[in-house]
Chain A
């Protein structure tokens, strides 16, 4: 019972502290009424059907990108290459789409998804494999791989895949309007949201109810025991990293096939980095990722309204996100100590 209460109380406390700090910044520096600002943020994120759709559209890539950290975390690996897998997944999806643009749309879309997932999966599996067989630290290597991925993307959209008509923002050829994946019927939210929620559900069921999922938990708990039990640790490392990378690659494919219609620098706008934090905030639990991503999507969706009504810089919402991340990460330390402190007081 206490554990459940704690899980609600600690993040709530962290959110309250973040709101207080952000409100202080607004009141003292920007001379804006914080209550009004928070009201506007609620309106811009969850107030209307329109803002809900904006929020969910932004949450979709975060959900998928977060899985790239959450899945390997089950094995005790810290992967932070989400942005790279997302960018390369988007690039591979665009390349596949351009290559067979005239095939039936469903075939093109499937090929794009397959290419994006394979590319993203291979990219993160590389980091996992290097860890397993060469002892290269996966956190650092996945970070380095992200930079290499972004450079590769820039190379291809400015070189071999470049559409000459894209002048000030170099882009690949478009994949064609017929091949876009479109929106969920009755909404403006693209299918990426469904992919993300389904992926989280599948990961949850896999981790909870299959032998492989259990094996991963054992490895994460104690790799030595796992090896003594005869588990092939390397296989599970590749599986978790590959599946996580595939989720991030799918996020890139969705960005290309539902929003931009082509690959360009808009792929590398930080969904991957935010995804890392979403995963940590959800404590790497697949079902917790969805609400956390929706909350963060809502905060970033409300930036436009704050800018229009209160003339705040659009970076205001990034500041709030940063404060929330740091506060929640720091609040980890309160678990198991909250009640003791109260009893002592």
Chain B
């Protein structure tokens, strides 16, 4: 990055660019996981879903020439993996945390297995909208290149928050997450609600994966995901189970992830990896600060066994 011409201003600018670019997959996985957890189930397997989504999107985009078809297929693959997780966890006496980790291994393994032929070829990219047309500075233009999926993600976060609060469906999902008895009392099938919520969460994670392989970094290889799928769980806790806060948290995590490369570009190389751990430290600190032995996290769905 040629930040020399604008000096230290490159750091906040790179952080802005990072927040926009790095955070998009975070937005999708965390809003999806938020819905899943609000229905009372935790899916730790989103990392596998994300990687499978990235692989299938890349493969389909390569074969068909249409990146958007790839995004659609990635969502479908994520939907299936989410449904698989939900279906297995629905069986009595099956542990959802262990199943999530098992499916994470399965998803990443399957993606590397099926994705072997896609490592070399170059698939078409998803386009971007140039929001920096007004500026003559190339760094600003570069920072303000916004992918369509970023905007879709923002809309989804607000739509999800609205739907959870104001629709009949949102009420049933929240009820399934807060109290199984109450959900049964109004005649809702908790299993079906969680199946749907987990499947949709998986579809979101699949789209997040498609962003990784089709836009940024924009290629398919085995080191593509750096744990974005697992981070979703931390993000949702950090956002205290609110979709719109998931959006802000994703932007924050994206910016935090961009601090270290940005500092490196102006010559500060100390503590590169410590900055990259900042989101996790922040989440842990938040948990320590708001938990007490008497009650669990504020905002946590009552039926969510994993955080009780």
Between A and B, 16 residue pairs with Cβ closer than 8 Å are A29-B114, A78-B97, A137-B306, A147-B280, A148-B281, A152-B274, A155-B274, A315-B108, A319-B109, A320-B109, A322-B108, A325-B98, A325-B101, A326-B88, A329-B99, A330-B94
Binding site for B on A (CB under 8 A): 29, 78, 80, 130, 132-137, 139-141, 143-145, 147-148, 151-152, 154-155, 158-159, 273-274, 276-277, 280, 312-313, 315-323, 325-326, 329-330, 332-333, 335
Whole-angstrom CA separation of A155 from B278 in the bound complex? 13
Those of B257-284 within 8 Å (CB) of chain A: 270-274, 276-277, 280-281, 283-284
* Interface of chain B: mostly helix, strand, loop or mixed: helix
Contacts of B299 in A (CB 8 A): none
What are the residues of chain A within 8 A of B297 when measuring CB–CB?
137
- Given A319-B113, A322-B103, residue A139 in contact with residue B291 (CB < 8 A): no
**Would A137 and B307 be within 8 Å (CB), given that A144-B284, A147-B277, A152-B277 are in contact?**
yes
Q: Which 3 A-B pairs have the closest CB atoms?
A: A322-B106, A318-B109, A151-B277
Query: Nearest residue in A to B112 (C-beta to C-beta)?
Result: A315
Knowing A144-B284, A319-B113 are in contact, say whether A326-B272 is a contact too (CB < 8 A): no
Contact with A along B73-111 (1 / 0, CB 8 A): 000000000000000100111110111011111111111
Prevailing SS type, chain A contact patch: helix
Asked whether B107 lies within 8 Å of A137 as measured between CB atoms, the reply is no
Q: Determine if B230 is an interface residue (Cβ-Cβ < 8 Å).
A: yes
The answer, among A29, A135, A332, for a CB contact under 8 Å with B295, is A135
A113, B303: Cα distance in complex, Å: 42
A78 to chain B: closest residue by CB: B97
Q: How far is the CB of A149 from chain B (nearest CB, A)?
A: 9
CA A333 to CA B99, docked complex, whole Å: 13
For A327, give the chain B residue with the smallest CB separation: B102
Docked-complex contact B95 and A280, CB < 8 angstroms: yes
Report whether B110 and A319 are in contact in the complex, using a CB–CB cutoff of 8 Å.
Answer: yes
Known interface pairs A139-B306, A148-B280, A151-B274; A329-B95 also in contact (CB < 8 Å): yes
Nearest-CB residue, chain B, relative to A137: B307
With A133-B293, A135-B292 known as contacts, the answer to whether A140 contacts B306 (CB < 8 A) is yes
| Complex contacts, A152 vs chain B, CB 8 Å | 273-274, 277
B168 at the interface (CB under 8 A from A): no
Report how many residues on chain B are interfacial, defined by Cβ distance under 8 Å: 56
Smallest CB separation, B204 vs chain A (Å): 20
Question: Which A residues lie within 8 Å of B107 (CB)?
Answer: 322
Number of A-B contacts (CB under 8 A): 156
Task: Decide yes or no: A332 and B93 within 8 Å by CB, A133-B293, A134-B293, A151-B276 being known contacts.
Answer: yes
Q: Do A277 and B102 contact each other (CB < 8 Å), given the known contacts A135-B294, A137-B296?
A: yes
B237 at the interface (CB under 8 A from A): yes
B contact residues around A332 at 8 Å (CB): 91, 93-95
A319 to B227: give the CA distance in the assembly, Å.
Answer: 19
Q: Which of A134, A144, A154, A155 has the most CB of B within 10 A?
A: A144
Q: What is the bound-complex CA distance between A69 and B246, given in angstroms?
A: 30
B185 at the A/B interface (Cβ < 8 Å)? no
On whether the beta carbons of B97 and A139 are closer than 8 Å, the reply is: yes
Instruction: Say if the beta carbon of B164 comes within 8 Å of chain A.
Output: no
Contact between chains at B101 and A277 (CB < 8 Å): yes
B288 beta carbon closer than 8 Å to chain A:
yes
User: Is the beta-carbon distance between B284 and A141 smaller than 8 angstroms?
Assistant: yes
Contacts A134-B293, A322-B106, A326-B103 known; A144 to B234 CB distance under 8 Å? yes
Check B207 for interface membership: any CB of A closer than 8 A.
no
Residue of B nearest to A145 (CB): B284
Instruction: Provide the bound-state CA to CA distance between A154 and B101, in Å.
Output: 24
Does B188 make an interface contact (CB < 8 A)?
Answer: no
Distance from B306 Cβ to chain A, minimum over Cβ atoms (Å): 6
Beta-carbon nearest neighbor of A274 in chain B? B105
Nearest CB in chain A: distance from B280 CB, A: 4
Residues in A neighbouring B233, C-beta threshold 8 A:
140, 143
Contact A276 B98 (CB under 8 A): yes
| B99 partner residues in chain A, CB cutoff 8 A | 326, 329-330
Supply 10 further A-B pairs (C-beta < 8 A) apart from A318-B108, A319-B109: A137-B296, A144-B280, A145-B284, A147-B277, A148-B280, A151-B273, A318-B109, A329-B95, A330-B94, A333-B92
